[in-house]
Amino acid sequence: MKQKVEVRAASSTLKVYTLSGTLVCEWKRSYNQGYWSTNPDHLPHKYKEYLQWSLPGFQRWASPIGPRTRIVIDQQFKSVQFPAQAFRKCQGILSFAKRYSQKALESCCQEAVLRGSCSYTYVKNTLVTFFDEEETRREAPLVEKEQEPQPVYKSNDSQFSLDALLTKQEASNGKKH
């Protein structure tokens, strides 16, 4: 609302009013510790998808990418006390499939499982190498026979001689005085 409001708490309800006294919204009050309720209509549009997040939902999104990605997602939930603590990490890992590719993400997750490093940070820091390898293989031209490496020559070898370097050093020392 971007304005100051007045909150009135009764034994069974919680009501929010504008300063002029207009009722904005009303919730049934909960006395369960650690429990909160939200009306989905009151959430910003980008946060409404959070209500759909759950362990089965993330497993369902990870499974088509590959079995190793699913293992990494499962590990995110095993490493936290409350499932909601893993939601952002899982969402971040699965979003890499859009930015890079599903194949690169699955390869990276396979490496993470083998190394025992099934974390968001590991995937984030190493995924680019798997994507680069995939891109290199895709862009490499098919060559029927191996080409021999071409020699590389310096264009002016005299500029690297000891006399030339000492002359440059004496000239620069003379200018400093």
CA distances from 20 to 14, 24, 26, 27, 42 (A): 18, 11, 16, 20, 21
pLDDT score for 119: 92
Rounded mean pLDDT for each run of 10 residues along the chain, 177 residues in total: 87 90 87 68 66 84 94 93 88 92 92 92 90 64 58 59 75 64
Cα gap 123→89, rounded to integer Å: 10
pLDDT score for 59: 92
Threshold 0.75, pTM exceeds: no
pLDDT score for 30: 76
pLDDT score for 158: 65
| Residue 55 neighbours by CB distance under 10 Å | 15
DSSP β-ladder status, 23-28 and 13-18: antiparallel
